[in-house]
């Protein structure tokens, strides 16, 4: 085996082990993992946007910590207000560091809060649902499952380029294979864990649907991360995960998929 493959494989095994343990125990263990991943990911984004070690980055990180603390304390009805406070902190920093700080930096700072900690926080919210330990894996079936199956489908069937400038190797055939493959993974998952998915009515129908929708969104997340890296002029967001890059390089599709899965589950539970 090639050394690079072994490094990626080892990192993947470690990541999956940490994910399983965090989601199994939930509570404080999951929150601390979420806090670590969120802040590391936000730091990577700020470094790419050339905001790191600036007052604007400090404001974004403090606002993110405030939001995550409110999430941990269960202040659901106050979360939007806490996000407003994060915005206020960024705007205040913009005002008092002007003209050294620019409007572009202020926009990037608040976008980073929404893009990384806010979106990743939905993993915690899904895990806290009833039957949450079984539901939270749908995010990864829809995102990482789609990544793998889209790659295989594109390799075997790909002919029509989807985004030739941004990601020349991605094809429409690969994208469709990723969506259909994720739906199949959802059906298999429902078949295995159906007794633990009672709140979804008919899991054999619900899970393929939600995984397919999640897979569509996950590909937007993947391509958006590529667009950010191209815009920032970097190859990877970081080096924290050997063989994969940074947090955002590995969680780019998860970030966007988690909120969709959360609200999709709420809708499915409401109509079941």
263-266 long-range CB contacts below 8 Å, 24 or more apart? 264/210, 264/213, 264/214, 265/126, 265/129, 265/135, 265/138, 265/200, 265/210
**pLDDT < 50: residue spans in the chain:** 1
Please report the pLDDT score of residue 1 as a whole number.
Answer: 47
Alpha-carbon span 143 to 152, nearest angstrom: 14
Residue 180 CB neighbours (<10 A): 17
Note whether 207 and 264 are within 8 A (CB).
Answer: no
Q: What is the pLDDT of residues 143-191, one digit of tens each?
A: 999 998 998 898 888 788 988 888 888 999 999 999 999 999 999 999 9
Q: What is the pLDDT of residues 230-242, one digit of tens each?
A: 999 999 998 888 8
Query: Exposed, middle or buried, 143 (CB in 10 Å: 0-12/13-18/19+)?
Result: buried
Please report the pLDDT score of residue 5 as a whole number.
Answer: 60
């Amino acid at each position: 085996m090639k050394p690079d493959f072994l490094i990626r494989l080892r990192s993947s095994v470690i990541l999956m082990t940490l994910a399983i343990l965090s989601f199994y125990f939930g509570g404080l263990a999951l929150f601390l993992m979420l806090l670590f991943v969120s802040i590391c990911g936000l730091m990577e984004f700020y470094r790419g946007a050339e905001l790191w070690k600036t007052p604007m980055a400090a404001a974004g990180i403090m606002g993110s910590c405030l939001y995550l603390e409110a999430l941990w304390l269960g202040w659901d009805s106050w979360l939007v207000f806490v996000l407003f406070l994060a915005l206020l902190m960024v705007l205040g920093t913009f005002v008092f560091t002007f003209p050294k700080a620019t409007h572009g930096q202020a926009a990037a700072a608040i976008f980073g809060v929404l893009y990384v900690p806010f979106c990743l926080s939905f993993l915690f919210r899904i895990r806290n649902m009833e039957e949450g330990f079984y539901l939270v894996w749908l995010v990864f079936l829809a995102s990482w499952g789609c990544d793998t199956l889209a790659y295989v489908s594109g390799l075997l069937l790909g002919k029509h380029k989807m985004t030739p400038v941004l990601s020349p190797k991605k094809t429409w055939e690969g994208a469709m294979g990723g969506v259909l493959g994720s739906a199949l993974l959802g059906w298999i998952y429902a078949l295995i864990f159906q007794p633990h998915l009672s709140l979804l009515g008919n899991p054999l129908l619900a899970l393929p649907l939600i995984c397919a929708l999640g897979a569509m969104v996950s590909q937007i997340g993947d391509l958006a991360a590529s667009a950010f890296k191209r815009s920032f002029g970097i190859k990877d967001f970081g080096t924290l995960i050997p063989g994969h890059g940074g947090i955002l390089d590995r969680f780019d599709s998860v970030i966007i998929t988690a909120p969709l899965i959360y609200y999709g589950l709420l809708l499915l539970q409401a109509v079941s």
